[in-house]
Structure 1
Amino acid sequence: MIRFDGVGVTYADAPVPALRDVDLHVAEGELCLVVGPTGAGKSTLLQAASGLVPHFTGGTLTGRVTVDGRDTRTHAPRDLADVVGVVLQRPAAGFVTDTVEEELAYGMEQLGVPAATMRKRVEEVLDLLGLAALRARPLADLSGGEQQRVAIGAVLASHPRVLVLDEPTSALDPSAADDVLSALTRLVHDLGMTVLLAEHRLERVVQYADHVVLLDADGSARDGEPAHVLAASPVAPPIVELGRLAGWSPLPLSVRDARRLAPALRTRLADAADAQQRHDQGRRAVRAAGTARRADPTRHLPLLQGAAVEVRHGRTVAVRDVDVAVRPGEVVALMGRNGAGKSSLLWALHGAGQRSGGRVALSDGTDPARLAPHELRRHVALVPQEPQSLLYLPTVADECVAGDRQAGAPAGTTAGLLADLAGAVDPGSHPRDLSEGQRLALVLAVQLAAGPGVLLLDEPTRGFDYAAKARLARALSSHADAGGGVLLSSHDVEFVAECAHRVVVLADGDVVADGDAREVLVASPTFAPQVARILHPVELLTVAEVARALGRST
């Protein structure tokens, strides 16, 4: 159905190709997962499969790409629209109507689908993706995850034979992601749809994949059976990393299969935990006394605190009577389903967003909303879901220089932070030409350069591979260790398990849980990370914790 023969893509002024010598065949009725590190060319490969490369992106295409026998050199995306449906990383940028129902129908209108058929398909998609309650809602009022589901639904309604998806679950909560992936799998199995999908949160997707394509950092590709490719992949989900650590073969790709292999490992870990507990008992009193002597009472004073915070959008109450605090040395995660009020709460706490009621104060009692922007960023910095909205200069280097100047930081501070977060990024690149993860890293570096006491992050791992998330976790831990505080909104349970000390769960604008990250995550069937599910009742959250318990290194 999709064939790449010796395909290479080189963008104008790029020093190296984005793709090189890619040979690939995706069969009809197959779900093919594209994996690789940030910036490896995953989005370019997807855009080449849909004809967007080179017709809209520019650059030089070598080799040949065919979709259902149509050569993308001679068929522009409009000539493939009846066969290929595309959802890219920022779905809201592609909306052309005002409401959910109108957006679902728009693509069919362009293809000349009869009105009666359109009505039937809209209803089917509303039910398939759980959008019925949102059918009349303005698109602009939806959360990022809700917008993502609408974008997928708008494509599905046109009944394409091939579906190309770039990070389709990046803004979805775990339950919504499972629903969307289950729906796609049914379409693949029951209707023979071909799905080409790129995703960084592999723990959500690998169990559904029939075929995996691994892109290396140089743009070359290798592909094959999922377990075989992932066994040697530098990018792998926790379940694969745990399987490597435990020596399981073949590697399991689902929690169910991993649990069947895990009894012996659970026994070893339980014995190790008992031994560690006995070792710790004799030292607890001494350690507690030392901690009490060293305790700094100011560490318990919140850097940022909200009391009875309320946010309304028209008649909708997004946040209802919420109390939340961020203390020095603390990384706090906000979790909850799409539309729970997480982004609204972050903006209200920041001071630049709407607040309908309640009080927000810094440690000195100042309301952030009363501070001028240049003062505010030194106290509270916000990285939004759409970080590109904060980038306005023509090159990465210009953004870094401006970041240093606005923060009053030494020259090179922002560039150094960017390198720590994203590795090597071409300073001459335009920010819009960066990958989603690189763009987010640039905005985060600009914000960190000002040395804010509190860092607010809205879905900070979108577009990040596992290595980039590990670097981000280290950066947030360093910020907290230096006396700062972090409040992040995330659906990425693996990242939260890695870096958060405390988890606050929102539901319909209310706080329904607030406690130690381990206790909240392990107790939740929705938010428990893969390792916790596989090893339950052993309360370990990450592969690194398992390795430490076994006296091994990861």
Structure 2
Amino acid sequence: MITFDQVTIEYDDAAAPALRDVDLTVEEGELCLVVGHTGVGKSTLLGAVNGLVPHFTGGTLYGRVTVDGRDTAHHPPRELADVVGVVGQDPLDGFVTDTVEEELAYAMEQLAVPPATMRKRVEETLDLLGLADLRHRALHELSGGQQQRVAIGSVLTSHPRVLVLDEPTSALDPTAAEEVLAAVTRLVHDLGVTVLMAEHRLERVVQYADRVLHLPGDGHVRIGAPADVLRSSTIAPPIVELGRAAGWDPLPLSIRDARRTARELRTRLTGHTPAPVRRAPGPDRPDLLTARKVTVAHKGVPAVREVDLTLRAGEVTALMGRNGSGKSSLLWALQGTGPRHSGTVSVADGTPRGADPHTLPAARARQLVGLVPQTPADLLYLESVGQELAQADTESANGRKAREILDRLAPGIPDSSHPRDLSEGQKLALVLAIQLTAAPDVLLLDEPTRGLDYRAKNRLVETVDALAAEGRAIVVSTHDVEFAARAADRVVVMAEGEIVADGPTTDVIVASPVFAPQTAKILAPLPFLTVDQVTTALATPRPEGGQP
């Protein structure tokens, strides 16, 4: 169905080819997972399948890419639209209509699908992706996860033979991600659709893959069975990392298989107390932000309902909950830019009563409370990465250098690159570097791991931990349970605009089958959250009195 024959893709301003001498074949009805660190060429590989590369992205393509017998060099994307459906990293970039129902029908209108068939397919897709209640909603009013599902649905209605997905679950909560992946696998198994999927959250998708295409970063592509490729790859989900640490062979890729394999490991770990993931702040730390009875409504619809929240110095809080639960609305209300219909927010500013960021000038509010939004490109407005970093340094009063922070999060981004040309992960890293340069006492991050690979998330954990150690309060709104398990002291769970759980990370996420990380699911009822905790325990003698 998809064939790459000695394909090399070069960009004029790049030191090395994005892809080099790639030979691969993806068969009909196969789900192939594309993995690799941020910036290694995954989006280039996907773009070559539907002709975006090189027709719209520039660069030079050597070799031949064919899809269902059509050479993409001679067939631009419009001539492949009936065969290839593409969902990009940012769903808003692909929307062309105003409402959910209109967006689902748009592609079929362009392909002249009969009206009766269009109506039937729209209804099927609404049910398939859980969008029926949103059919008349404006696209710009949806949460990021809801927009992602609409973007996938708008492609599915055309019944393409090839589906190209770039980070399809990046904005989805765990339950919504499972629903989308279940729908995708049904298309593969029941209809023979070929799926090429790039995804950083491998813990969600690797069990569904028939093969893995690993891009190590030198332009080449390594292809093989998931367990074979991931055993030695530089990028792997926690379940594989745990299997490596325990010496399992073959490597399990699903929680069910891993639990069966882990019986002996659970016995070895019994009696060990997991090391703390991070040192929690002491009880004497001061409150940096206090919110009381905060309420937010959009067009009369409540998004946040009388929320009370206190953020302490040195504390990292993970804000979790399903898509549309009010997390982003709460963060914008705390930062002061977003609407707040009632309630109070007070941020420590050296005065006895504190300051309400909603009433302060933007520059002063940013020094007290920083916010990185779900769509980081909204904060990028200059012509190059170097200009963005220099502007951040100019506005910083604490001596931090934005370039140093960026290189820790996503190294190798040249100053000459235009911010809009970066991958989503690189854009996020750039905005994080800009906001962290200001180093406000309270930092709010809305889905900061979206588009980041495991290596970049490790650096983000280190950065967040360092900022907390300096006495700052960090809130991370996230669907990434693995990141929350490693980075947060405290987890706050929202549902329908209200806080329904608030407590230490271990207590909250282990109690939930939805939010529990892979290690916790595999080793339950033992209280381990991360692979690092397991490896530390295995290297430590069993305490006296521990059960064998």
**Any idea what SS the aligned residue of 1:491 has?**
coil
* Distance in 2, Cα, partners of 1:162 & 1:424: 33
* Distance in 1, Cα, partners of 2:9 & 2:378: 28
1:541 is the counterpart of 2:541: no
Provide the residue aligned with 1:366 in structure 2.
355
* Distance in 2, Cα, partners of 1:12 & 1:322: 52
**Any idea what SS the aligned residue of 2:409 has?**
helix
Taking the TM superposition and a 5 Å limit, the aligned residue runs for 1:88-99 are: 88-99=88-99
Shift >6 Å, 4+ stretches: none
Deviation by residue 1:64-102 (Cα, 9 ceiling, x = unmatched) = 110001000000000000000000000111111111000
1:317–1:416 CA distance, 2 compared to 1 (3 A) = same
Provide the residue aligned with 1:526 in structure 2.
514
Question: Residue type matched to 2:162 in 1?
Answer: V
Selected match of 2:500 from 505, 512, 515: 512
Provide the residue aligned with 1:348 in structure 2.
333
Provide the residue aligned with 2:469 in structure 1.
481
Deviation by residue 1:425-473 (Cα, 9 ceiling, x = unmatched) = 2111111122211111111111111121011000000111101000000
Selected match of 1:319 from 304, 307, 320: 304
Question: Residue type matched to 1:389 in 2?
Answer: D
Q: CA deviation at 1:218?
A: 1.8
1:429 is the counterpart of 2:414: no
Q: CA deviation at 1:295?
A: 6.4
TM-score by length of 2: 0.95
* Distance in 2, Cα, partners of 1:132 & 1:295: 47
1 or 2, which has the higher helix percentage?
1
Provide the residue aligned with 1:284 in structure 2.
none
**Any idea what SS the aligned residue of 1:303 has?**
strand
* Distance in 2, Cα, partners of 1:220 & 1:393: 33
1:490 is the counterpart of 2:478: yes
* Distance in 2, Cα, partners of 1:532 & 1:272: 14
Provide the residue aligned with 1:500 in structure 2.
488
Question: Residue type matched to 2:363 in 1?
Answer: H
1:402 is the counterpart of 2:410: no
Provide the residue aligned with 1:285 in structure 2.
none
* Distance in 2, Cα, partners of 1:424 & 1:11: 16
* Distance in 1, Cα, partners of 2:492 & 2:502: 4
Selected match of 1:438 from 416, 426, 437: 426
Deviation by residue 1:394-422 (Cα, 9 ceiling, x = unmatched) = 11111111100012354x71111111111
Provide the residue aligned with 2:449 in structure 1.
461
* Distance in 2, Cα, partners of 1:525 & 1:464: 24
* Distance in 2, Cα, partners of 1:22 & 1:296: 56
Provide the residue aligned with 1:142 in structure 2.
142
* Distance in 2, Cα, partners of 1:41 & 1:137: 35
* Distance in 1, Cα, partners of 2:312 & 2:10: 47
* Distance in 2, Cα, partners of 1:164 & 1:296: 49
Question: Residue type matched to 1:136 in 2?
Answer: H
1:338 is the counterpart of 2:323: yes
Provide the residue aligned with 1:447 in structure 2.
435
1:349–1:486 CA distance, 2 compared to 1 (3 A) = same
**Any idea what SS the aligned residue of 2:513 has?**
coil
Provide the residue aligned with 2:543 in structure 1.
none
Question: Residue type matched to 1:346 in 2?
Answer: L
Deviation by residue 1:161-209 (Cα, 9 ceiling, x = unmatched) = 0000000000000000000001110110011000000000000000000
* Distance in 1, Cα, partners of 2:470 & 2:203: 32
Selected match of 2:375 from 386, 396, 413: 386
* Distance in 1, Cα, partners of 2:485 & 2:397: 34
Provide the residue aligned with 1:185 in structure 2.
185
Question: Residue type matched to 2:115 in 1?
Answer: A
- Tell me, which stretches of 5 or more residues in structure 1 are unaligned? 278-290
1:174 is the counterpart of 2:174: yes
Question: Residue type matched to 1:339 in 2?
Answer: G
Question: Residue type matched to 2:362 in 1?
Answer: P
Selected match of 1:302 from 282, 287, 294: 287
Q: CA deviation at 1:12?
A: 2.7
**Any idea what SS the aligned residue of 2:308 has?**
strand
Q: Which moved more, 1:538-547 or 1:16-25?
A: 16-25
Question: Residue type matched to 1:517 in 2?
Answer: T
Provide the residue aligned with 1:132 in structure 2.
132
Question: Residue type matched to 2:45 in 1?
Answer: L
1:24 is the counterpart of 2:12: no
**Any idea what SS the aligned residue of 1:28 has?**
coil
Provide the residue aligned with 2:545 in structure 1.
none
* Distance in 2, Cα, partners of 1:441 & 1:44: 19
Q: CA deviation at 1:329?
A: 0.6
- Tell me, which stretches of 5 or more residues in structure 2 are unaligned? 541-548
* Distance in 1, Cα, partners of 2:167 & 2:356: 37
* Distance in 1, Cα, partners of 2:9 & 2:307: 50
1:328 is the counterpart of 2:313: yes
TM-score by length of 1: 0.94
Q: CA deviation at 1:424?
A: 2.3
Q: CA deviation at 1:296?
A: 7.6
